[in-house]
Amino acid sequence: FCYVSTLDIYGPPQSLPVTEDNAARPASYYGASKLAAEAIMCVFAERSQVPVTVLRLSQVYGPGDNSRKAIPNFIRAALRGEAPIIYGDGADERDYVFVADVVAAIELSLVGRVPGTFNIAGGRGCTIREIAAPIVRLTGSTAGPIWKPRATPATRIVLDIGRAERQLGYHPQVDLEEGLRRTVDWFRENTAAA
């Protein structure tokens, strides 16, 4: 059994990169609910003798992502000829993972039947500033970002994927540039989503 969890179970990290052994201190109801579900999965595994793999996903992006997060927001704005809006100084850092790499991790967990908890991420941090620049270039936009004040402190979270590499054989295949290109192409072809 593969349970898809989230980096939100960690809450604000004390140090980077975050390993699976870091304390779980969710700061949102979503993170708390995912952590509770992980505990339920542990009980299920013990009682049923079914191997359970928990995958804690980082910031997933890619074609079909119509959420209100930075990458799709920036792409939608740039394709409309509008400037992406960056809150604060753009130093917020995330560990982005392309959706195809997430699918590969799920397949590895199901085929390998490796029990345990694993971080699934791209393997490197990237700031909001670093995301905006290639999106503007890939869309051909001439509108640079607009900077606005932010109401909350900057967030930095990068996940350590060493355990997933060693035990699952997980290795992200799609780098950020290629993933952004594929995502921009999808938005171009699906103008209703933009």
Active-site amino acid positions: 30
Strand partners, 98: 61
Q: Record the tokens describing residue 21, joined without a space.
A: 């052994």
Strand partners, 146: 85
The helix/strand/coil state of 188 is helix
Q: If we measure between CA atoms, which residue out of 103, 92, 93 comes closest to residue 172?
A: 103
The helix/strand/coil state of 120 is strand
Q: If we measure between CA atoms, which residue out of 130, 126, 135 comes closest to residue 83?
A: 135
Q: Please classify residue 39 by burial: count the beta carbons closer than 10 Å to its beta carbon, then call 0-12 exposed, 13-18 middle and 19+ buried.
A: exposed
The single-letter code of the amino acid at 178 is E
Strand partners, 18: 159
134-143 burial, b if ≥16 CB within 10 A, otherwise e?
Answer: bbbebbebee
